[in-house]
Chains A and B, each alone.
Chain A
């Protein structure tokens, strides 16, 4: 843990532009503090997240991926987050079976008014990533 406290995990966030991205914005506007470990990509909808994005992020060396969208029933496009939910469910279960640490892939519902929840989620996910080692999954000489 001593060495690892030096290391800061890189977390890639895929946020839906209607809820979670606005939630992140609100967190900033409200001067709430969340770990700078997250790098955010804004997407139109959590339903836009292809499991390929997640694999590609891990392949590029990100330590974790967070997919966040609107609460069920709140999707701007009515159903995108429901589709995302199924996709994330099978992707997370399958990747754990293949051998990816479950902490690396996370999903959350954060609405545009939940700036506080956004900081909590990012803090918690970052903490989870600090508890496991840096992503060496795709490193060659392991």
Chain B
């Protein structure tokens, strides 16, 4: 992915869409206030589209904003984000004709905390981070250090089979040199599966004792679109609103059951968590379960019925007495 060329094309396309009145809003990324970060840009202004960027740090799944936007929107998406949009279309949450999808073939997103850990320096002390094929070159104090992408990309990117957007109106680039590393991607889940059942429960109990129930995971998730969440129901009150580990764990288990067949393994829940609960180890396992049981991957076909509103007479039932 040649970021400069793609970026220029994005700016041109976005400007044209606004000028021709094809969309009311553009949803994309602009440089963040901190080094190497990006932040969502939602604009009606055709001059502001000059701020749009495409780089290996466009981390957010912007499809979460589609529900809140009144009007037509042009949206920048990576592979996983495009599947979130398809999933929203399947669930009648957005209309396909109301959005113009600007697809970016994704070559994986760089996990800054992994870079910091590898280099042993804070992000402010780093000179530059650039992609070079299957290597990532980090410049520290004038010195260049090359790392393989499997050391640097987010875990969910390393397990990604579908970096090219599934659904788009404009594809900003053709190629996607994403090199995956399934072993590195699945390390969290495999470690848990290697534990005894009691150890796994204790692991999650400990993790969820840190949860402050900020609901960031729920709010950032495009698949979590209920207007009224079960955690806020009071008749009956399913779980207490105060963060107790028991209720935190029930919240997250049910949340994962609710998004089964909608989760595209974009990894946003884990990234947004302020207390670093490895939420992707829950989400990805549910992703694997529905794939294993029903050969279903979220967001692949906008005509298909959503997984849990649908059934087959021949669904597996060997677990039923």
Asked whether A99 lies within 8 Å of B317 as measured between CB atoms, the reply is: no
Number of A-B contacts (CB under 8 A): 98
Collect the chain B residues with CB atoms within 8 Å of residue A101's CB. 197
Collect the chain A residues with CB atoms within 8 Å of residue B238's CB. 52, 56
Render B250-272 as a binary contact track against A, CB cut-off 8 A, 1 for contact. Answer: 10011011001000000000000
CB-CB contacts below 8 Å: A80-116 with B: 82-83, 85-101, 106-109
A56 vs B198: C-alpha distance when bound (angstroms): 20
Q: Does A131 contact B (CB under 8 A)?
A: no
Asked whether B320 lies within 8 Å of A52 as measured between CB atoms, the reply is: no
Asked whether A55 lies within 8 Å of B250 as measured between CB atoms, the reply is: yes
Asked whether A93 lies within 8 Å of B201 as measured between CB atoms, the reply is: no
Q: Does B121 contact A (CB under 8 A)?
A: no
Asked whether A85 lies within 8 Å of B311 as measured between CB atoms, the reply is: yes
A interface residues, tally (CB under 8 Å): 37
B interface list, Cβ under 8 A from A: 192-193, 197-205, 230, 238, 246-247, 249-250, 253-254, 256-257, 260, 282, 285-286, 289-290, 293-294, 307-309, 311, 313, 315-317, 319-321
A interface list, Cβ under 8 A from B: 51-52, 55-56, 59, 72-73, 79, 82-83, 85-101, 106-109, 121, 124-125, 137-138, 142
A-B contact pairs, 24 of them (CB 8 A): A55-B250, A55-B254, A59-B247, A79-B311, A85-B315, A85-B320, A86-B315, A89-B317, A90-B257, A90-B286, A90-B290, A90-B293, A92-B319, A94-B253, A94-B256, A94-B286, A98-B201, A99-B197, A99-B199, A100-B197, A101-B197, A107-B319, A108-B321, A124-B321
